[in-house]
Amino acid sequence: MSTFRFQALKETANRKLIAVEKLEKKSKIFGSNVFNDKAMRQFLTPEAYKAVQNAVQNGAKIDRVIADQIAMGMKEWALSKDVTHYTHWFQPLTGNTAEKHDAFFETSFDGSDPVEKFGGSQLVQQEPDASSFPNGGIRNTFEARGYTAWDPTSPAFIYGTTLCIPTIFVSYTGEALDNKTPLLRALQAIDSAATDVAKYFDKNVRKVTPTLGWEQEYFLIDRSLANTRPDLLATGRTLLGHASAKGQQLDDHYFGSIPSRVLNYMRDLENECMLLGIPVKTRHNEVAPSQFELAPIFEEINLAVDHNSLLMDVMQKVAERHDYKVLFHEKPFKGVNGSGKHNNWSLATDTGINLLSPGKTPMSNLQFLTFFINTIKAVHDYEELLRAAIASASNDHRLGANEAPPAIISVFIGQQLTKVLAELEGVTKGKLSPEEKTDLKLNVVGKIPDVLLDNTDRNRTSPFAFTGNKFEFRAVGSSANCATSMTTLNAIVAKQLKDFKEEVDALIAKKDLKKDEAIFNVLREYIKQTKSILFEGDGYSEAWEKEAKKRGLSNFKTTPEALKAKVSKKAIDLFEELAIMNHVEVEARYEIELEEYTKKIQIEGRVLGDIARNHVVPTAIRYQNTLIENVKGLKEIFGKDFEKIAKQQISLIKEISEHIEGINAKVDAMTEERKKANNLSDISKMAAAYCDKVKPYFEEIRYHSDKLELLVDDEMWTLVKYRELLFLR
């Protein structure tokens, strides 16, 4: 009997509910482990408090003396909460978060004067030994060192007994080595571009901030079961496993009653989130068995991105307490739905207006249409770059797999707004007559809020959908760091708004148009130019693939193909123009992502070869041997009649041999292709080889293994099966 598997099954069956600490009301405890406004007022001098506010709101620099004061206040606050260590918390290009803890504790070299210390210099800047983080050659060509620097726009927080200070991570020559720095730069770009445009409508707008509400999907699998699967442990997904007879056919999991053990996990997690100031709000079962979702109230984007990264870490830690493992992989199981991370995105002004929400007056609706149409134009012009921003080895399994948005980027806006755009397309060129203006204001622009209120249009197959007061970027992968997609989205919209402003101003200056006339004129042209990106139909259908091709939209199904857009001249020009990344930073990221892709497929190939040869084949042989023994015995007893009696067994023996042979042949061939790929020196060629030559063997090997799983005695099978992984909880 296969002991490890059955021991795990037994452990899972005997699980007890883990009690969840009952905390005070959410509104009471929210953010109590965050150095937020309330804590700052209490622990900072008025001068230091003002300096932080000024840095957050206006990007002002903080001088050394004040930094010392802030550090002192932060330390006092942290010590009052039994904190012993501090760390700069950052997001290197691995996609994860990184931290290195130092104790507050210090003494003189002779051991005298022990004291808790934390000064401005430790708060503001650190130099982690960063040589092992991916840098795409940046630190080879420039300086060898990197440093982390405090980002005051994301408040410090306490996790466990450590004070975590969100930081950026840059090289000594200033190149960004992380995901946060380009995001912050993109936020500056869109703030300045969007504020300029918003001023057409309201002179008082001084700042525009993008907002983000992510929806995190994940699988929750019993830890003992997950531990028996080398593929889950090493790659985050199952490389083998026959489909369970019951999967998600009955749709009985989606929004169903949450299993008790899972619910306790969620409650525990929510407690942690409340303390950390992560405003989680929604929890529910997702479509696939053992798949769930968690969504917060939306926040300012930099904070929302940090919160998602932090959450993913916390989710795994809380899962340990409840004997679960969280799977963030976009496609952990074949045959059931994968996971995404919808990024709900909008733009908010410091005057409290959501720029993607229709208002009450024609003017505010024209403002809405301006931002709405400019976003569509941005996606239209940069669809390839947006596709590249969500490319990863794991998300390749999801995009275009007939259950998630396709690899083709398009925008869904709903019937009513489609109609509004059609009417705006008919706006007269140049000056508008007073009648036309009135008609537009009353009958087109003026009607929008009513139109949207009863707009229940939802299109779940669209990668980028307008949902009433925000866009939902649905193609983002569940394991992704939101910074990548959000940097790109904000960059392309910033660029678009900048161009828009120039065009409108030119019309006002040269053609003597009124502001609203100029805006109508430019928007009309955009509507004409961007039709190819709008799609309201079924994004999963084959017809759409054909149609999209006709329209000239890209359809990159694999990461190596999709990523190329990142280093196109158009992309580099965009990032350089907006001072978000220079070409070195862009190229470095491209290289890092190709490397990551290659390594992931390489690891999958190795793990698959290993499991197939060391688990599946030996198990199949063992079972085959019992069959052979059986046939031999039958022969002894029945003599010449045995062939008829042992017919089934004999054909099984042959069938097993064929699959063993299949596995061996394919694993050999795959290994050969890996060797060839490894000899390539160009990283883009290597990634392509892994994609086109190595990866196709995965399905072939899996085919034989999954067949064997159905043939071999259940008691002998060593790998925990799909029906166990997905249904025991």
Contacting positions for Mg ion (CB under 5 A): 342
Measured from the CB atom, the residue of 474 and 695 that comes closer to ligand ADP is 474
Specify the long-range contacts of residues 677-682, CB closer than 8 Å, at least 24 apart. Answer: 677/598, 678/602
Q: Tell me how far, at minimum, the Cβ of 282 lies from ligand ADP, in Å.
A: 7
Q: Tell me how far, at minimum, the Cβ of 347 lies from ligand ADP, in Å.
A: 8
Enumerate the H helices of 511-616 as residue ranges.
515-529, 542-551, 559-563, 569-577, 583-611
Measured from the CB atom, the residue of 17 and 297 that comes closer to ligand ADP is 297
Q: Is 368 in the site for ligand ADP (CB under 6 A)?
A: no
First to last CA, the chain: 23
Measured from the CB atom, the residue of 295 and 688 that comes closer to ligand ADP is 295
Q: Tell me how far, at minimum, the Cβ of 545 lies from Mg ion, in Å.
A: 24
Using the structure block, give the residue that is written with the tokens 């050659």: 137
Q: Tell me how far, at minimum, the Cβ of 47 lies from Mg ion, in Å.
A: 44
Separation CA 299–CA 346 (nearest Å): 10
The neighbour count for residue 670, using CB atoms within 10 Å, is 23
Measured from the CB atom, the residue of 216 and 290 that comes closer to Mg ion is 216
Q: Tell me how far, at minimum, the Cβ of 210 lies from ligand ADP, in Å.
A: 8
Separation CA 696–CA 662 (nearest Å): 14
What is the β-pairing status of strands 157-159 and 162-171? antiparallel
Q: Tell me how far, at minimum, the Cβ of 214 lies from ligand ADP, in Å.
A: 7
Q: Which residues lie closer than 8 Å to 114 by C-beta, 6 or more apart?
A: 105, 106, 107
Q: Which of 88, 341, 437, 470 binds ligand ADP (CB under 6 A)?
A: 470
Contact positions with ligand ADP (CB under 6 A) in 343-362:
344-346, 354
Instruction: Tell me the residue nearest to ligand ADP as measured from the CB.
Output: 213
Identify what 604 binds: Mg ion, ligand ADP, none; CB under 5 to 8 Å per kind. none
Measured from the CB atom, the residue of 153 and 649 that comes closer to ligand ADP is 153
Separation CA 637–CA 657 (nearest Å): 25
CA separation, residue 311 to residues 241, 269, 328, 455 (Å): 30, 9, 12, 33
Contact positions with ligand ADP (CB under 6 A) in 200-229:
211-213, 215
Which positions from 412 to 451 touch ligand ADP by CB under 6 A, shown as an x/- string?
A: ----------------------------------------
Separation CA 241–CA 243 (nearest Å): 6
Exposure of 580 in the CB half-sphere (CA atoms within 13 A): 32
Which positions from 280 to 319 touch ligand ADP by CB under 6 A, shown as an x/- string?
A: ---------------xxxx---------------------
Measured from the CB atom, the residue of 158 and 465 that comes closer to ligand ADP is 465
The neighbour count for residue 706, using CB atoms within 10 Å, is 17
Separation CA 388–CA 674 (nearest Å): 25
Identify what 213 binds: Mg ion, ligand ADP, none; CB under 5 to 8 Å per kind. ligand ADP
Q: Which of 428, 455, 469, 555 binds ligand ADP (CB under 6 A)?
A: 469
Q: State the burial class of residue 38 (Cβ atoms within 10 Å of its Cβ: 0-12, 13-18, 19+).
A: exposed
Identify what 298 binds: ligand ADP, Mg ion, none; CB under 5 to 8 Å per kind. ligand ADP
Which positions from 449 to 468 touch ligand ADP by CB under 6 A, shown as an x/- string?
A: ------------------x-
Separation CA 517–CA 225 (nearest Å): 65
Measured from the CB atom, the residue of 194 and 687 that comes closer to ligand ADP is 194
Q: Which residues bind ligand ADP (CB under 6 A)?
A: 211-213, 215, 295-298, 344-346, 354, 467, 469-470
